[in-house]
Amino acid sequence: DLSVKGINNALLRVGDACRNEYNAMRNRIRRSKWVHIDETGFHVNGKKYWLWAFRSAENDILIVIVDSRGRDVVRDTMGETFHGPAIVDGWRVYSYLTTIQRCWAHLIREVDAFKSSERGKELSEEIHSIFKELKESLKSENMDERKSMK
């Protein structure tokens, strides 16, 4: 039989064994050209936790699970010297970062929320069309071809 203490001790040993790789991945993310950051909340035994995902340009993915949705999580993970673009949802905790790019998925979700009015529906369709055109142009490997697209 496994006891709670036995499981806890095993998890602590696994954490210790992973510490060097965790720190190495966090450092790679800090050096990345850009990083996607997003967070989502969930409950465990009635307590709120946040899963933070940090994805680098090089496809490193670091998951941080803490009981905070605050700026300290971003600072602890990204450090104070990250200057590449951070692609984020607009949550104010990211405002200290030097360069912020809004995430298209979040923007489209926000635009879709206004579809109940006629003007909102028009804007939503226009934004979806622009996004589709952008995705198609980014499929091109040729920069000159990208520039010529209108």
Give the pLDDT band (50/70/90) at residue 142. Answer: low
Q: How many other CB atoms sit within 10 Å of the CB of residue 127?
A: 16
Q: Percent of the chain, pLDDT > 90?
A: 60
Q: Which amino acid is at 22?
A: Y
Span 22-48, average pLDDT: 96
Span 38-66, average pLDDT: 96
Contacts by 117-121 with C-beta closer than 8 Å and gap 24+?
none
pLDDT, one tens digit per residue, over 71-110 is: 999 999 999 889 899 999 988 999 888 899 998 888 888 8
Span 31-40, average pLDDT: 96
Q: At what angle do helices 71-78 and 4-31 cross, to 10 degrees?
A: 70
- Looking at the chain, list the stretches that DSSP marks H as alpha helix, in order from N- to C-terminal side: 4-31, 71-78, 104-112, 118-138, 143-148
In the predicted structure, residue 10 carries a pLDDT above the cut 80 = yes
Domain-wise residue ranges, the chain: 1-101, 103-150
- Beta bridge partner(s), residue 67: none
Rounded CA gap, 58 and 97, in Å? 20
**pTM check: above 0.85:** no
Rounded CA gap, 31 and 122, in Å? 41
